[in-house]
Amino acid sequence: MVFEEVEDAQAFYKAYARRQGFAIRTNHTRLSKDDKTPCAVDYVCTREGFWRVSQKDTNRIMPEPAETKIGCKAIMGIKKDGEKWIVNKFVIGHNHILLTLRSISFLRGHRGVSKVQKKLIMTLNESGVSTRKIMSVLSKDSGGDFNVGCIGKDVENYLGSQRRKIFAEGDAQRLYSYFLDRQNKELGFVFSMQVDNDECMRSCFWADARSRAAYQYFGDVVTFDATYLTNIDKMSFVPFSGVNHYHQTIMFGCALLVNETAESYIWLLRTWQEAMLGRAPSTIITDDDKAMAKAIVEVLPNTTHRLCLWHILQKFPEHLAYVYSKFPDFQKDFRHCIHETITTDEFEQEWNLIVVKYDLGENTWLQNLYSRRDKWVPAYLRSTFCAAIDARYFKEKEKDVWTKSTRAIMKTPFKIEEEAALVYTRKSFMIFHDELFNSLQYQARRLSLTGEAKTYGVTVHAKLNRLPEHYVLDRWTINAKSRPIPHIPCCDDQVSVEVDEPTMRRSKSMIQLYDIVELASQLAKKHNHFTLALEKVHKEMLAMDEHVECSRAVSANDDQIVRSQVVSNFSQTVQDPPQDTNVKLTLYLMQQDAETKGFESYEEQLRKHFTAIYLCLAPTPHMAAIIVIIL
Least confident of 145-149, 300-304, 342-346, 581-585: 581-585
What is the average per-residue pLDDT within 491-497? 41
3-state DSSP assignment of residue 28: strand
Check: CB of residue 22 under 8 Å from CB of residue 108. Answer: no
Separation of alpha carbons 397 and 603, rounded Å: 9
DSSP 379: G
pLDDT at residue 499 above 60?
Answer: no
Question: Alpha-carbon Rg of the chain, whole angstroms?
Answer: 34
> In the sheet where 249-257 sits, what is the strand order?
190-195, 201-207, 249-257, 236-243, 221-224, 283-286, 304-307
Taking Cα atoms as reference points, which of 494, 588, 475 lies closest to residue 172? 588
Taking Cα atoms as reference points, which of 235, 264, 201 lies closest to residue 573? 201
- What pLDDT shows up at residue 65? 57
pLDDT at residue 116 above 80?
Answer: yes
Separation of alpha carbons 291 and 585, rounded Å: 27
Instruction: Write out the H or E segment, with its range, that includes residue 12.
Output: helix 6-20
- What pLDDT shows up at residue 45? 93
Confidence of residue 199 (pLDDT cuts 50, 70, 90): confident
pLDDT at residue 99 above 50?
Answer: yes
Q: In the chain, what percentage of residues exceed pLDDT 90? A: 16
List CB contacts of 371: < 8 A, sequence separation 6 or more: none
DSSP 44: E
What is the average per-residue pLDDT within 401-406? 58
pLDDT at residue 563 above 50?
Answer: no
Confidence of residue 315 (pLDDT cuts 50, 70, 90): confident
Instruction: Write out the H or E segment, with its range, that includes residue 250.
Output: strand 249-257
3-state DSSP assignment of residue 90: strand
List CB contacts of 25: < 8 A, sequence separation 6 or more: 43, 44, 46, 48, 109
pLDDT at residue 602 above 60?
Answer: no
User: What pLDDT digit, counting tens, does each position of 48-88 carry?
Assistant: 988 766 554 555 444 555 677 889 999 999 999 888 999 99
The amino acid at residue 129 is: V
pLDDT at residue 619 above 60?
Answer: no
List CB contacts of 22: < 8 A, sequence separation 6 or more: 45, 46, 47, 72, 74, 94, 96, 98, 99, 104, 107
Confidence of residue 616 (pLDDT cuts 50, 70, 90): very low
pLDDT at residue 517 above 50?
Answer: yes
- What pLDDT shows up at residue 538? 82
The amino acid at residue 302 is: N
Instruction: Write out the H or E segment, with its range, that includes residue 231.
Output: helix 230-233
User: What pLDDT digit, counting tens, does each position of 525-538 carry?
Assistant: 888 888 888 888 88
What is the average per-residue pLDDT within 128-145? 82
Q: Decide which of 299 and 99 is more confident.
A: 299
Cβ-defined contacts of 295-302 (< 8 Å, 24+) = 295/262, 295/265, 295/266, 295/268, 295/269, 296/265, 296/269, 298/266, 299/266, 299/269, 299/270, 299/273, 300/269, 300/273
Separation of alpha carbons 436 and 413, rounded Å: 11
3-state DSSP assignment of residue 261: coil
pLDDT at residue 596 above 50?
Answer: no
Domains of the chain by range and CATH?
A: 1-53+65-107 (no CATH), 171-307 (3.30.420), 310-405 (no CATH)
State the CB neighbour count (10 A cutoff) for residue 305.
Answer: 16
Taking Cα atoms as reference points, which of 84, 99, 114, 8 lies closest to residue 45? 99
Separation of alpha carbons 434 and 429, rounded Å: 8
- What pLDDT shows up at residue 577? 66
Confidence of residue 140 (pLDDT cuts 50, 70, 90): confident
State the CB neighbour count (10 A cutoff) for residue 480.
Answer: 19
Query: How high is the mean pLDDT of the chain?
Result: 75
Least confident of 41-50, 162-171, 600-609: 600-609
Q: Decide which of 463 and 420 is more confident.
A: 420
**382-396, 440-454, 502-516: range with highest mean pLDDT:** 440-454
Separation of alpha carbons 178 and 175, rounded Å: 5
Least confident of 77-86, 170-179, 214-223, 358-367: 170-179
Separation of alpha carbons 22 and 103, rounded Å: 10
pLDDT at residue 579 above 60?
Answer: no
**b/e sequence 395-407, b meaning 16+ C-beta within 10 Å:** bbeebbeebeeee
Taking Cα atoms as reference points, which of 41, 54, 62, 50 lies closest to residue 95? 50
User: What pLDDT digit, counting tens, does each position of 342-400 carry?
Assistant: 889 999 999 999 999 998 988 888 888 898 888 888 888 776 655 563 333 334 444 55
pLDDT at residue 227 above 70?
Answer: no
- What pLDDT shows up at residue 489? 73
pLDDT at residue 615 above 70?
Answer: no
- What pLDDT shows up at residue 228? 59
Q: Label residue 223 exposed, middle or buried (CB < 10 Å: 0-12, 13-18, 19+).
A: buried
Q: Decide which of 516 and 190 is more confident.
A: 190
- What pLDDT shows up at residue 266? 93
Q: What angle do CA 77, 81, 82 make, to 5 degrees?
A: 150
